[in-house]
Amino acid sequence: MNNLVNKKILLVICGGIAAYKSLELIRIFKKNNYQVKTILSKGAMEFITPLSVSSLSNEKVYTDLFDFKNEAEMDHISLSRWADIVLFAPVTANKIAQLSYGLAEDLATTVALASDKQIFLAPAMNVRMWENKLTKLNLEKLIDSGYKIIGPDIGEMACGEFGSGKFSDPMQIFSVIKNYFKNIEKNNKFKALVTAGPTREYIDPVRFITNKSSGKQGYAIADQLQKNGFETTLISGPTNLKPPDDVKFIYVDSAEEMYKKTIEVLPVDVAIFSAAVADFKVKVPYLKKIKKENFESLELGKTRDILDYTSKHNELRPKLVIGFAAETESIEKNSKKKLNEKNCDWIIANDVSNTEIGFDSDYNEVQIFRKNKSGSENISLNTKEIIAKELVVRISNELKANG
Ligand code: CTP
């Protein structure tokens, strides 16, 4: 993780009278040693010029998706990868609507759609437009997809009306961004371990017992932990997924291997056991492929419970131990039982009888049961990426609260 001074901001300036204030924002970022590349929407160029922006930012200014010269130097995908965050300031009601529909009409919206970074929106518009039900609905959609909103303020507007919709003070916008990075830096001291995916318990060299786990939720959690500053190790059984960038990735096959690698990685500050570890293994796997005519029966034994071992280990126990419970009935009863019996701090439960959030789905809805707390907290239906983001906020807060 870079120091704050090296942070890279991709600033998108949209059309609107407040666009001139983003020049002040660039000046503040530069004064604090942030690097700022800027995209000017077509509308923004009615209010400010690329020359004034590039003079202040000391960087090339990007204006058009089909500017071949710029695309050759840095295409829209590299531009979104380059940034640590993307900040739309000011963002108009029109751009909010485009973003909420996932349109890729110009460079600004294309970059947002291609970005896997945190996107901030600092709106500026007339009070009626801000209070319009459609603007609210569009914003709700964006918030639900992980966008963060800065402001707007209440005050007198350029059009003479008074109310909410005024562009936030550039210093206020800067301090929100600065705190965002500071918060991530505080996570740098924490180590995290995530187990994910299914395991394979071999019967013979070509046959095994496994389950339908895709590993998607665990990979998304590891990705979010890493992006939020945690030094993250992901121990995964076989999946079709690409390991998240920068995460230390350990591939395993069986429950026993997953157990051994987990012990090697401990101690950590937080361990999240999202793997669907096979509960049974073949006691003595065949060394050669079994011939049907010679086969009678298999003797199964229990695998070692990695979560149980870790959470009950005096020296190696992480400060925060999080187990998963995939349930089809009596979610609360079964989750609380697991919480106590496996000595967890949290159990994250989901109802896998609901096919929408089942094993291979991109969506999830979870309930968090916490030690010594009655009831549970619900994180409602959303993509596994957003569920992971929500979980990581809570993990980070918990660790910071407990030193
Ligand atoms: N777990 C583990 N090692 C195992 C089995 C499970 O670490 N050998 C962890 C899982 O990663 C998950 C939690 O324990 O965090 C799930 O508990 P488990 O009792 O296996 O749940 P179920 O398989 O649903 O068990 P049951 O069918 O008995 O409810």
DSSP string computed for 320-364: EEEEEEEESS-HHHHHHHHHHHTT-SEEEEEETTSGGGSTT-SEE
Verify that 296 and 277 share a domain, yes or no. Answer: yes
Instruction: Find the mean pLDDT for residues 80-97.
Output: 96
For residues 40-46, give the mean pLDDT. 95
Ligand 1 pocket residue status of 324, Cβ below 6 Å: yes
Give the mean model confidence (pLDDT) for residues 41-53. Answer: 95
The phi and psi torsions of 165 (rounded to 5 degrees) equal 135, -5
Task: Kindly state whether residues 235 and 335 are assigned to the same domain.
Answer: yes
Pocket test for ligand 1, best of 210, 312, 324 (most atoms within 8 A of CB): 324
Counting ligand 1 atoms within 8 A of each CB, the residue from 306, 320, 343, 347 with the most, and so the one to mutate, is 306
CB atoms within 10 A of CB 300: 15
303 lines ligand 1 (CB under 6 A): yes
Return d(Cα 36, Cα 20) in angstroms, integer. Answer: 16
Beta-bridge mates of residue 208: 202
Q: Is the CB of 227 under 6 A from ligand 1?
A: no
Does residue 192 share a domain with residue 166?
no
Rounded Cα distance between 385 and 365, Å, is 11
Say yes or no: 258 and 279 in one domain.
yes
Nearest CA to ligand 1 atom 4: 305
* Percentage, residues of the chain above pLDDT 70: 96
* pTM (2 d.p.): 0.91
Is residue 1 situated within a structural domain?
no
pLDDT of the residue at 1:
46
3 located within any domain: no
Of residues 6 and 169, more confidently modeled: 169
- Using CA atoms, how far residue 56 sits from 27, 30, 52, 89, in Å, is 6, 8, 6, 16
Helix, strand or coil, per DSSP, at residue 23: helix
Per-residue pLDDT at 357 exceeds 90: no
Write out the catalytic residue numbers: 159
- Asked whether residue 110 falls in the same domain as residue 153, the answer is yes
- In the listed set 185, 216, 235, which residue is the last one of a domain according to the structure? 185
> Average pLDDT for residues 273-301, to the nearest whole number?
94
200 plus 320 within the same structural domain: yes
Q: Are residues 177 and 193 in the same domain?
A: no
Structurally, the chain folds into a number of domains equal to 2
Q: Is 72 a residue whose pLDDT tops 90?
A: no
Question: Does residue 65 have a pLDDT over 70?
Answer: no
pLDDT of 68 > 60? The answer is no
**Position 274 in a domain:** yes
For ligand 1, the distance from its centroid to the CA atom of residue 297, given in whole angstroms, is 25
Average pLDDT over residues 211-217: 95
Tens-place pLDDT, residues 140-164: 999 999 999 999 999 988 778 888 9
Q: From the CA of 308, how far away is ligand 1's center (Å)?
A: 9
> Of 185, 220, 246, which residue sits at a domain end?
185
Residue 120 sits in the same domain as residue 201? no
Is the Cβ atom of 259 under 6 angstroms away from ligand 1? no
* 299 and 159 inside one domain: no
Residues 93 and 18 in one domain: yes
Domain boundary among 185, 200, 229: 185
Q: Which of 69-73, 189-193, 286-290, 334-338 has the lowest mean pLDDT?
A: 69-73
Is residue 349 domain-resident? yes
Q: Which residue in this structure is represented by tokens 């049961």?
A: 369
To test the ligand 1 pocket, which listed residue (212, 213, 273, 345) has its Cβ within 8 A of the most ligand atoms? 273
Residue range 19-42: average pLDDT? 97
Closest ligand 1 atom to 347 CA: 15
Asked if the structure places residue 2 within a domain, the reply is no
Ligand 1, atom 23: closest residue by C-alpha: 279
What range does the domain containing 271 cover?
A: 188-401
- Residue 283, exposed/middle/buried by CB under 10 A (0-12, 13-18, 19+)? exposed
Residue 194 lies in a domain: yes
Residue 353's pLDDT is 83
Q: What is the dihedral of CA 388, 393, 394, 396, to 10 degrees?
A: 120
Domain CATH code at residue 256: 3.40.50.10300
First to last CA, the chain: 21
> Is residue 5 pLDDT above 80, yes or no?
no
